[in-house]
Amino acid sequence: MRLLVVEDDKDLAGQLRRALSDAGYAVDLAGDGEEGHFLGDTEPYDAVILDLGLPILDGITVLRRWREDGRNMPVLILTARDRWSDKVSGIDAGADDYLGKPFHMEEMLARMRALLRRTAGHASNEIQCGALRLDIAAAKVSLDGRLVNLTALEFRLLSYLMHHQGKVISRTELVEHLYEQDFDKDSNTIEVFIGRLRRKTKADLIETVRGLGYRLTVADEV
Ligand code: CA
């Protein structure tokens, strides 16, 4: 999962990036509304954290422009505490959730998990695929009840496939949703990671769809 954080307060932006990276997400930062709008307009983020008070272009305008252009990624807005009118304008402009400053990083993470799983159509914090189980809150995957030891990138990849299980996901899509903006992206490395995941999980769970990509599937129960 790859996220965009648009926040001009450098300290807060740094804290958000750290908390989200530790939780397993790829994170891009933008420090003003113009850059934030551009990134959200051109990169396929799984979700966005958007501050409302931003230099150059304010958060409400950024959000309204994205929505007018059909950009429908989930957006969590950051508002000043007790500014209920900000929350109303934000939600009316197309925000999916809000957090009043100051907030606890744990609450931000919980709201982000909820946004991501709801967007992918999952109601609970556990996603099951055959013998594989993803515990979203703990950021852990188990196979037949045993914990699977994964690196950060392997987890990100498997988590993405599990959120979107049953769908064919192209290598390009995986690259776009796993790596941060300034990362040297190479879609060949995806194959390497898929190979490692197959060795660590049941090899037949991740299917290669020739010429199209990969699909996480559950074999029909006998
Ligand atoms: Ca601000």
> What is the chain's Cα-based Rg?
18
Q: What CA–CA distance (Å, rounded) separates 129 from 113?
A: 18
Q: Which pLDDT score, from 0 to 100, does residue 188 have? A: 78
For 54, 92, 112, the CA distances from 44, given in Å and listed in that order, are: 22, 23, 16
| pLDDT lower than 70: segments of the chain | 203, 219-222
CB atoms within 10 A of CB 121: 8
Looking at residue 220, its pLDDT comes to: 52
- Decide if 100 contacts 81 (C-beta within 8 A): yes
State the pLDDT at residue 126: 92
CA of 184 to the centre of ligand 1 (A): 30
pLDDT score of 181: 84
pLDDT score for 203:
67
**31 CA → ligand 1 middle, Å:** 9
C-alpha 160 to ligand 1 mean position (Å): 30
pTM of model > 0.75:
yes
Ligand 1 centroid to Cα of residue 126, in Å, is 34
Q: Which domains does the chain have, with CATH numbers?
A: 2-119 (3.40.50.2300), 126-221 (1.10.10.10)
